[in-house]
Amino acid sequence: RIRHYGILSPSNRDALRNIQKQLDVPPVPKERTKKSYLEICQENGWEIGVCKECHCQRIIIRIINPAPRAPPFLLMRMGN
């Protein structure tokens, strides 16, 4: 991927911060804070807790976490 080369590579973070300072661009924070999907929706103005049809309040019954990915399977064996 392109982001792994040049000034965007992880090994050049200090150089990228220096370039951002020279261009008067606010630097990217060193640590990103994890936000819940509810916080992200509130920041963007998405009302996920309200029904679009009747405008009634929705109730969260259960949050389903994503299932783990299955291991890859071998399509063809070579050299048996």
| pLDDT tens per residue, range 19-73 | 888 999 887 777 778 888 888 988 998 888 888 889 899 888 888 888 888 777 7
Burial 38-57 (b: 16+ CB within 10 A, else e): eeeeeeeeeeeeeeeeeeee
- Provide the whole-model pTM: 0.35
Residue 23: the pLDDT is 92
Q: Where do runs of H (alpha helix) occur along the chain?
A: 13-22, 37-44
